[in-house]
Amino acid sequence: MNKKFIPLFLLAGSTLLTACNEQKTTSSAAAPVAVAKEDAVAVVNGTYISKESLTKLENEIAQRKQGQSFPKEKLLEELIQRELLVQEAVQKQLDKTAEYTKQLDTVKSTLLTQAAVQNFLKSSPVTDADLEAEYNKNVAASGNEYKARHILLKSEDVAKQIITELSAGADFAELAKAKSTGPSGPQGGDLGWFAAGQMVAPFSEAVIALEDNKFTLEPVQTQFGYHVILREGSRSQTPPPFESIKEQIRPMLQRQKLQEFLTGLRTKAKVEILLPKPAPAPAPAEIVPSETTDAVTKAVAETQAAAKEIATDTAEQAKSATVEATINAEDKIAETIESATEDAKSAVADTVEKADKEVANKIDALTK
Mapped to the 3 state alphabet, what secondary structure does 294-321 carry?
A: HHHHHHHHHHHHHHHHHHHHHHHHHHHH
pLDDT digits (tens, 9 = 90+) for 173-199: 999 999 999 999 999 999 999 887 788
Task: Give the pLDDT band of residue 144 (cuts 50, 70, 90).
Answer: confident
170, 201, 236 - which closes a domain: 236
Mean pLDDT of 196-219: 92
At residue 226 the predicted structure's pLDDT band, cuts being 50, 70 and 90, is very high
Q: What is the pLDDT of residues 235-256, one digit of tens each?
A: 987 788 999 999 999 999 999 9
Look at 101-110, 324-333, 345-354 and tell me which has the smallest mean pLDDT. Answer: 324-333
Contact 185, 172 (CB under 8 A): no
Instruction: Give a yes or no: residue 279 inside a domain.
Output: no
Examine residue 175 and state whether it is found in any structural domain, yes or no: yes
Same domain, 141 and 67: no
pLDDT tens-digit map of 35-62: 888 999 999 999 999 999 999 998 888 8
Contact predicate 143/236, CB 8 Å: yes
Residue 83 has pLDDT above 70, yes or no: yes
Q: How far apart are CA 191 and CA 289, in angstroms?
A: 8
Residue after which a domain boundary falls, among 186, 219, 236: 236
Residues 143 and 65 in one domain: no
299 Cβ neighbours under 8 A, 6+ residues apart: none
Residues 25 and 88 in one domain: yes
Q: 74 lies in which domain range?
A: 8-92
Helix (H, G, I), strand (E, B) or coil at 152: strand
Distance, CA of 91 to CA of 28 (rounded, Å): 9
Would 43 be classed as within a structural domain?
yes
Phi-psi region of 299 (alpha: psi -120 to 50; beta: other; left: phi over 0): alpha
Residue 28's pLDDT band, with cuts at 50, 70 and 90, is very low
How many other C-beta atoms can be found within 10 angstroms of the C-beta atom of residue 249? 19
Indicate the SS3 state at residue 183.
coil
Instruction: Tell me: pLDDT of 344 over 90.
Output: no
User: How far is it, in rounded angstroms, from Cα 49 to Cα 23?
Assistant: 7
In a domain, 75, yes or no: yes
Same domain, 86 and 137: no
CATH code, 142: 3.10.50.40
Residue 281 lies in a domain: no
On whether residue 189 sits in a domain, the answer given is yes
**Number of domain units in the chain:** 2
* Same domain, yes or no: 164 and 230: yes
Are residues 79 and 139 located together in one domain of the fold? no
Is the pLDDT score of 99 beyond 80? yes
At which of 221, 236, 251 does a domain end?
236
Quick one: 86 and 140 in the same domain? no
In-domain check, residue 114? no
pLDDT at 20 over 90: no
Is the per-residue pLDDT at 306 higher than 60?
A: no
Distance CA 265, CA 271 (A): 11
Q: How far apart are CA 285 and CA 223, in angstroms?
A: 9
Residue 232 belongs to some domain of the structure: yes
